[in-house]
Amino acid sequence: MATLRTYVIARLLLMPVMVITLLTLVFIILRVLPGDPVSVILGPKAPPEVVEELRKALGLDKPLHIQYIDYLGKILHGDFGLSYYWKIPVRDLLWPRFLATLELSLLAMVIAIALGVTLGALGALKRNTVIDVVTRLIGVASYAVPVFLLGLMMQLILGVYLGLFPISGRISSEYIGQFRPITGLYLIDTLIQGRLDIFVDVLKHLVMPATALGFIISGVINRMTRQSLLEVLDKEFIIAARARGIPEDRILTKYALRNALIPILTIAGMQFALLLAGAVLTESTFSYPGLGTFLVTSVTYRDYNAIQGAIVLYAIVVVIVNTITDILYAFIDPRVRY
Amino acid sequence: MNLADLILGRKGLRKSLEYKMFMTGLSIVTTLVVIAVLAPYIVPWDPYKPAAEEYIPPFTDPRYPLGTNFLGYDVLSRVIWGTRNSLLVAFLAVMIAASVGIPLGLLSGYVGGYIDRALSLIMDSVYAFPGIILAIALAFVLGPGIVNVAIAIAVIYVPTYFRVIRACTLVVREQLFVEAAKAMGADFITIMRYYVAPNVLTAAIPVLALNFADAILTEAGLSFLGVGLPPTEPDWGVDVSAARGDIVRGIWWTTFFPGIMIFVATLGFTLIGEGLPYLLNPRQRGRIR
């Protein structure tokens, strides 16, 4: 498997290149484009000496190429600067919020896969029937529905009218500080510390945002499942299995789905960028304290370092996840390696 | 197959789900465009001013069919005017993205070499980045306003056009007629304009429709987050955002009506984009996205 090894090494070597390209992109957007961060932060009527002071504090008085090197150097050392609003290092603010986003995203992904695979498999099995049309239309609807509309309607019906779930936040206020955040993923932390009551509370907070976000992502998985299942069902080994008299449901689970699942899971991994983007809106809808909410509130506070830090963290995460899915894909599909 | 065949559903197309999807999408979009154009003549109340007392429920007073919001603005008038803003921003964004992405894709695909590699790396990076996050950063720097939001959204979609057009250009540039043109001494601009471009542009059409759908969703999202259109502007995303606090009090119409319009508009363009590639070329079935 020398070719696979070469591919993996090449892909890993590309990682820093992509990170630096994205960091450069962020730099260009935040510093080089016509908008001036200082006037954005202070507003147009700020006295000139204050403007000058902030300009110095931000290092914006230096030439662009020096700023660029400073910026890259600091990020490579994990230094994201100080938050103006919170008055503490941005790095310390980012990490717990990133973990909150991770928890939400992972649960949403589980829901998306469950929903997408079920709907897609139903569609493929009942091809060209009403069920097929309905499952496909649900798929199209999932592309088109704004996640915040779905979220707000869930809040209204499941939260306000039926009182089943809390409509916002990550944890009820009486439980804050009742357990030690070890991993930062509350579901795991509460479980290993045996606090089932808090676990249920956290889960209840997660149900609506994760379902809303999961539904948005499920469309792509739904389509992919239908497509790859239809392809597999046409294969000769399925016909052979039928000819041997193997029951239809066993053919589906043991033969068809297992073969179709590999591309499905890869596609799911590739939806990660979509997941992060959807998470920004979902978090904001449910006031969930994740990275997305942090980015949006930092924009409202004009907290320049915080905005830059959040975006840089997103960029790094995206590159890492893309690299992992690409490598996994290469393991599965030999045609990718070259 | 020509456009008349497509719309009239000739050649046995009428039965396919894709045809029905395409036609439904086309009807939705046409209706929305008509509403957007006629907005100043059909709004019952000024969407920039309160029309009555706040929170009149929908379907109770015929003067305010969809009720009023927390400031007493007529929800129907806001929703109608919002169509205008939403379609305008999406249209601008798609046009800007296409007019940057298509030429760059042509250039990159045709010229190749270092330019191609550098452009591809940049485009792939932008493409990998979660769109709305990039747009938030841009909207923050550029500030509010219709054109600025359109630019922020456009940046997300430039790589989509770039990739599609570049891939097609790579195929077309190897064709014999391009070589013939070169042999006859045609210059770079002539080859691009008369030989390459006409043969690759059709590939961008389904992308255009899906992009439009996405642009509407992104604009609504940005406005919902408070970094899109200014909060006074009648816009579906702005209105949902302003009304989100109503949900706790069980008031649903102030978020539902503008929200459902975002869904309907996005659905319309998505259906066109989904149906179109199949109708234009059955072999491409399900290859978009």
User: pLDDT of A78-118, one tens digit each?
Assistant: 888 888 888 899 999 999 999 999 999 999 999 999 999 99
- Answer yes or no: are the C-beta atoms of A101 and A292 closer than 8 Å: yes
| Crossing angle of helices B17-42 and B253-280, rounded to 10° | 130
In a domain, A306, yes or no: no
Question: Has residue A201 got a pLDDT over 50?
Answer: yes
H or E element that contains A248: helix A248-250
The answer to whether the Cβ–Cβ distance between A40 and B140 falls below 8 Å is: yes
CA distance A313 to A273: 13
* B19 residue type, one letter: Y
The answer to whether the Cβ–Cβ distance between A30 and B137 falls below 8 Å is: yes
From chain A, the residues in CB contact with B271 under 8 A are 140
CA distance B282 to B260: 32
Question: Nearest Cβ partner of B247 from A18, A152, A322?
Answer: A152
Q: Which whole-number Å values give the CA distances from A169 to A165, A173, A181, A282, in the listed order?
A: 11, 9, 17, 11
The answer to whether the Cβ–Cβ distance between A314 and B130 falls below 8 Å is: yes
Chain A: nearest CA to B86, how far in angstroms? 14
Q: Which whole-number Å values give the CA distances from A243 to A124, A240, B35, B64, in the listed order?
A: 20, 5, 58, 66
ipTM for the complex?
0.87
Question: Has residue A325 got a pLDDT over 50?
Answer: yes
Chain B: nearest CA to A245, how far in angstroms? 32
In a domain, A337, yes or no: no
- Could you give the percent of chain A with pLDDT greater than 90? 34
H or E element that contains A323: helix A304-332
Chain B: nearest CA to A247, how far in angstroms? 30
The answer to whether the Cβ–Cβ distance between A314 and B244 falls below 8 Å is: no
Please tell me the predicted confidence (pLDDT) of residue A99.
93
Question: Nearest Cβ partner of B129 from A33, A273, A300?
Answer: A273
Q: What burial letters (b/e) apply to B248-285, b meaning 16+ CB within 10 Å?
A: eeebbbbbbbbbbbbbbbbbbbbbbbbbbbbbeeeeee
Question: pLDDT (tens digit, 9 = 90+) per residue, B153-197?
Answer: 999 999 999 999 999 999 888 888 888 988 888 888 888 888 888
Strand partners, A89: A82
Interface A–B counts its CB contacts (< 8 A) at 148
In a domain, A284, yes or no: yes
In a domain, A50, yes or no: no
Please tell me the predicted confidence (pLDDT) of residue A231.
85
Please tell me the predicted confidence (pLDDT) of residue A93.
93
CA distance B33 to B50: 26
How many alpha carbons lie under 13 Å from residue A121 in its C-beta half-sphere? 17
Question: For chain A, percent helix, then strand, then coil, each to nearest 5?
Answer: 75, 0, 20
Q: Which whole-number Å values give the CA distances from A53 to A80, A163, A300, A309, in the listed order?
A: 20, 52, 22, 22
**Helix residue ranges per DSSP H, B9-130:** 17-42, 75-111, 113-128
In a domain, A16, yes or no: no
Residue A228: exposure state from Cβ atoms within 10 A (0-12, 13-18, ≥19) = buried
Residue A253: exposure state from Cβ atoms within 10 A (0-12, 13-18, ≥19) = exposed
The answer to whether the Cβ–Cβ distance between A273 and B128 falls below 8 Å is: yes
Chain A contact present for B197, CB below 8 A = no
Chain B: nearest CA to A31, how far in angstroms? 9
Question: pLDDT (tens digit, 9 = 90+) per residue, A7-20?
Answer: 888 888 888 888 88
* Interface test with chain B among A13, A135, A148, by most B beta carbons within 10 Å: A148
**Whole-model pTM?**
0.88
CATH assignment of the domain containing A214:
1.10.3720.10
Q: How many domains does chain A have?
A: 1
- Give helix then strand counts, H and E, for chain B: 12, 0
In a domain, A161, yes or no: yes
Structural domains present in chain B:
30-54+62-288 (1.10.3720.10)
Higher-confidence position of A257 and B190? B190
The string of DSSP letters for A287-317 reads T--SHHHHHHHHHHTT-HHHHHHHHHHHHHH
Q: Where in the sequence is the domain holding A132, given as residue range(s)?
A: 91-300
* B127 residue type, one letter: Y
Tokens of B216: 């509407």
Residue by residue, pLDDT tens for chain B (289 residues) are: 456 666 665 556 666 778 888 899 999 999 999 999 999 999 888 898 888 888 888 988 888 889 888 888 999 999 999 999 999 999 999 999 999 999 999 999 999 889 999 999 889 888 888 889 989 988 888 888 899 999 999 999 999 999 999 999 998 888 888 889 888 888 888 888 888 888 888 888 878 888 999 999 999 999 999 888 988 889 999 999 998 889 988 899 999 999 999 999 999 999 998 888 777 765 544 433 3
Please, which pLDDT band fits residue A338 given cuts at 50, 70 and 90? very low
Question: pLDDT (tens digit, 9 = 90+) per residue, A2-51?
Answer: 578 888 888 888 888 888 888 888 888 887 665 566 776 777 677 778 87
Please tell me the predicted confidence (pLDDT) of residue B144.
80
Residue in A closest to B258 by C-alpha: A149
Chain A: nearest CA to B66, how far in angstroms? 17
- Answer yes or no: are the C-beta atoms of A254 and B199 closer than 8 Å: no
Question: Nearest Cβ partner of A295 from B121, B136, B247?
Answer: B136
